[in-house]
Structure 1
Amino acid sequence: MTNGGETPALESDEVLLNDVLALRRAVVEAAAPMLTELLRSTVPGPCLENLAHYLAIRRQDLRPLQRRLMQRGLSSLGHMESRVLPTLDAVIAALAAMAGRPSPRPAPTEDAFFAGEAELAAAADALFGAPPAHRRTRIMITLPSQAASDPDFVVSLAQRGMDVARINCAHDGAAAWRAMSDHVRRSGDLVGRRLTVLMDIAGPKIRTEDVLVPSDGRKLAPGDAFRLIAQGPPRSTGDVPFCAVVSLPEIVNRLSPGDRVRYNDGKLEGVVESVADGEALVRVRYAKSGGVKLKPEKGLNLPDTDLGLSPITTKDEGDLVTVVGCADMIGYSFVSRPDDIDLLEAALSRHEAGDRKLGFVAKIERPEAVANLPGLIARARGRRPFGVMIARGDLAAEIGFARVAEMQEEMLWICEAASVPAIWATQVLEDLVRTGIPSRGEMTDAAMAARAECVMLNKGPAVGIAVETLDRLLARMDAHLFKKTPTLRALKSW
């Protein structure tokens, strides 16, 4: 409002048109070197061009321009991930018409405007298989060991809504994996639709092995210290009674004073105080209320430490013999740099036969992978069906819980801009899976997961109920939301 109580006059359409034209020119100019860098790894294509344009435009603060466009009832540019230049061109054409002059940019056709959506849908079909008719988002289930010996259990999951079965190669063995895969194929035949199999190779997961704790069962709490040791039996001293052997011995000597150590999905965080002779002393800074038990086979995350590890281990190389014969796609843990994709391609080339190529899912678990996501996408593009898993468990332990929500949103946007299918993973409906009763917050989280092309549920006693619940929820959300865009079906509650 002005001082006189009057609404200020709308700026001229010509001024706003010129500002949007200037923005388009700036985006194309800024995107050119980014696209050149991305193309070092692959061949040209509209999805990579759009990714470069999206990266360029998101380096600017568009909020003032958005409000100016919204005032005219035009696109606020808030839903342009899959169509950066077409969105700008549509706005330019509309503003030119409002200004009463010919448009300097032709308005995009319907096919051109929605081409990114079509390419993303085709990429998701190629990776996961076609979705069911009543929802766009697939449901992936992590199979428990029971699935190897109980084919009826797998049939039940398929009947309730499972589209993709995940086999974690960190557990069980080749015979069990083959049995699980066979049961998934037969279940697909029984329910009359193709079910696909993702097999996760374990990668260099850092875990506790043997542990030593006080005989009184005391837990670790803030202010306590514990030792991480490279090898030998765990040992304690009077002032430090907690000790754990690390699954990858070389990691201990890569730690430095000040490095953070997160244990068991971030239930505890400590800081390295000293490192010597294959031992690291860690002081607990944070721990969940009531303390944390030091146990074997629990994950360790080292967000400040240069691990220097190959994402493919000797075990993974051996497991690939089974994976290429059983899976439709391979989950790649701890991928961080574009060169890591070349390592996987080389390993697969030693085992794949014929024209059949496995799909490939890059699991984004470390800060380096987040930072390098555009480069990872470019390197993987065109070689085989490709997708990204937003692995929120390890990612939260690496970057901190406070940033996970922000990062998962940004990764969804980058994937959409590049027409790459995304998997929303870790702790989806976890209370429901474990107890049969969901929390209110996790139902909201699961509803927001409908923006991904696939949602992963973990194993648990009530996973069948969780599949049914998620199937219904995703179908309802499909009527309300596509990615970031609300879809305004008629409301019937009022």
Structure 2
Amino acid sequence: MAERRTKIIVTYGPAVEAESQLRRVIDAGANAFRLNFSHGTHNEYAQAIARIRAVAAESGVPLALIADLQGPKIRVGDMPAEGVELRKGKTVTLTSRRIKGDGETVPVSFPDLGGVLRQGKKVLLDDGRITLKVLEVQGGDANCRVMMGGLLESRRGVNFPGIDIKAPPISGKDRQDLDFALQAGVDYVALSFISSADDIGMLRSLVESRTERRVRIIAKIENQEAIRNITSIIATADAVMIARGDLGVEIPPERVPYWQKEIIRQCISSARPVITATQMLESMIEDPVPTRAEASDVANAIYDGSDAIMLSGETAIGRYPVRAVNTMHRIARTTEAALSRERTRPGASRASVSDAISHAACEIAESLGAQAILTPTSSGSTALQVSRQRASVPQVALSPEKDVVNQLAIAWGVMPFMINPARDTDDMFEKAIAVTRDNGIAQSGDEIVITAGVPVNVAGTTNLIKVHRLD
């Protein structure tokens, strides 16, 4: 069985909004869709979610939906549709006023420019592609000189490097978007510019007060504060996204590769799915093939151990969204073929019985040459514990919870399936074995390894390993 282990997340946008395009993107290998609530309307996303769910159901593919909340992200306001060219040496005024921008004045979504900017400070626009230097601050406006120019369009990001911005982690807009996303049935909620575990706790309280569903939280790592608090953030979040665009603006870009590897290492150790994102195949927004450096970047993220790799503008607004997914799929398959010969398993943790059982199940499966590792799970915990071992044997997760099946779509190496609730242990084994037969995963004479929890249908009780030879 030659399934791709690293998962692919695509960002939804105009380039894939047609049902035919969604079908092609899913067929090409998409495992999840990110809905970027910095753009678009609730009505547009309601239609998008309905189309994505319908196409996924037709394809029989478990698919995760991720609602990406804007958080305290500062953005450029309305600019002319064609954008404005900011030329090096030119002066431009940043303002908090809600006006239409032009070549002289640029509105930004931050109310206290005068309170945080000072003469000599840098302002970075559009992920650092444009650099301004503050000349003077007058009231709520900042007059700046363009140090590095470029085309500036509406809604592009704004960063104030080295300045601690005190802003609520969840805005009024985020709360409205969260209400909509939960009602629409998303599987994950991602929060931008998290700075501490407390931010995650606040979001989790909001989620739990609005739904009884097990909606998971993704912490986006994008600033220096998150780096300082990374261990507690990983412990508190359900998954982590390394958002390298803003992170590479907020910290020196030469430090991003180190932190990418370190965050991935900690996430694997903690059994938290980790997503590497931003600018992975960015040239494919306009070009049909990636640069060699981009191909190497994708491969390196896989070598590092990413559960999932994400496409942003490539699929949202790019000219070649399906080709971009196909390209990422091919790079992943080729890289994983080399990794299967090189990867070493993390040591068995002594933190819990579940850790030890999951580690042992993978060792047994590989020693026996088993056809698959089966992980019946009610919460997803067993599947994630086994996934973190990065076993060479295919992993099949089985759950009676639709939310869990969808959420496991972004976990490394996991093939999730929906099953009916098991009455007891024997019934659980029968259902798991039936899935392997019905889906061609194993056949008569093959050995499979099953790891699960007893009693059944109780979260967090992984305590059993069974080796079974199919009749």
Give the TM bin, normalised by the shorter chain. Answer: 0.5 to 0.7
Distance (whole Å) between structure 2 residues aligned to residue 469 and residue 198 of structure 1: 22
1:159 matched residue in structure 2: 27
Deviations 1:382-435 (A, max 9, x none): xxxx11111011111211323222222222222223222210101111223432
Deviations 1:220-260 (A, max 9, x none): 21x44322112165799xxxx73212122224422233432
State the shift of 1:474 in Å. Answer: 0.9
1:402 matched residue in structure 2: 254
Cα gap change, 1:364/1:252 in structure 2, threshold over 3 Å: closer, same or farther?
A: farther
1:416 matched residue in structure 2: 268
Distance (whole Å) between structure 2 residues aligned to residue 366 and residue 483 of structure 1: 35
2:337 matched residue in structure 1: 479
1:273 matched residue in structure 2: 135
- Unaligned 5+ residue runs, structure 1? 1-131, 381-385, 490-494
Matched, 1:351 2:210: yes
Deviations 1:95-121 (A, max 9, x none): xxxxxxxxxxxxxxxxxxxxxxxxxxx
2:110 matched residue in structure 1: 248
Out of 309, 324, 335, the position equivalent to 2:167 is 309
Out of 6, 12, 30, the position equivalent to 1:143 is 12
3-state SS, counterpart of residue 388 of structure 1: strand
1:121 matched residue in structure 2: none
Q: Which runs of 4+ in 1 moved over 3 A?
A: 145-148, 232-236, 293-296, 482-487
- Counterparts of residues 88-237 of structure 1 (less than 5 Å): 134-145=3-14, 147-148=16-17, 150-210=18-78, 219-221=86-88, 223-231=89-97, 233=99
Cα gap change, 1:482/1:332 in structure 2, threshold over 3 Å: closer, same or farther?
A: farther
Distance (whole Å) between structure 1 residues aligned to residue 127 and residue 279 of structure 2: 11
Deviations 1:81-139 (A, max 9, x none): xxxxxxxxxxxxxxxxxxxxxxxxxxxxxxxxxxxxxxxxxxxxxxxxxxx96121100
Q: Does the 8 A contact of 1:393 with 1:427 survive in 2?
A: yes
Cα gap change, 1:137/1:311 in structure 2, threshold over 3 Å: closer, same or farther?
A: same
Which structure shows the bigger proportion of residues in strand conformation?
A: 2
- Which shows bigger deviation, 467-476 or 358-367? 467-476
State the shift of 1:331 in Å. Answer: 1.1
The letter of the residue matching 1:163 is N
- Counterparts of residues 252-331 of structure 1 (less than 5 Å): 252-285=114-147, 287=148, 291-325=149-183, 326-331=185-190
Cα gap change, 1:277/1:374 in structure 2, threshold over 3 Å: closer, same or farther?
A: same
3-state SS, counterpart of residue 286 of structure 2: helix
2:375 matched residue in structure 1: none
State the shift of 1:189 in Å. Answer: 2.1
Structure with bigger gyration radius = 1
Cα gap change, 1:441/1:235 in structure 2, threshold over 3 Å: closer, same or farther?
A: closer
3-state SS, counterpart of residue 289 of structure 2: coil
3-state SS, counterpart of residue 194 of structure 1: coil
Which structure shows the bigger proportion of residues in helix conformation?
A: 1
Cα gap change, 1:483/1:198 in structure 2, threshold over 3 Å: closer, same or farther?
A: farther
User: How many residues matched?
Assistant: 337
Q: Does the 8 A contact of 1:480 with 1:486 survive in 2?
A: no
3-state SS, counterpart of residue 473 of structure 1: helix
CA RMSD of aligned residues (A): 2.7
State the shift of 1:277 in Å. Answer: 0.8
State the shift of 1:194 in Å. Answer: 0.8
1:369 matched residue in structure 2: 226
Cα gap change, 1:232/1:362 in structure 2, threshold over 3 Å: closer, same or farther?
A: closer
Distance (whole Å) between structure 1 residues aligned to residue 215 and residue 120 of structure 2: 41
- Unaligned 5+ residue runs, structure 2? 346-391, 393-471
User: Identity percentage over the alignment?
Assistant: 31
Cα gap change, 1:141/1:228 in structure 2, threshold over 3 Å: closer, same or farther?
A: same
Which TM-score applies when normalising by structure 2?
A: 0.66
Distance (whole Å) between structure 1 residues aligned to residue 198 and residue 342 of structure 2: 32
3-state SS, counterpart of residue 56 of structure 2: helix
Distance (whole Å) between structure 1 residues aligned to residue 286 and residue 169 of structure 2: 31
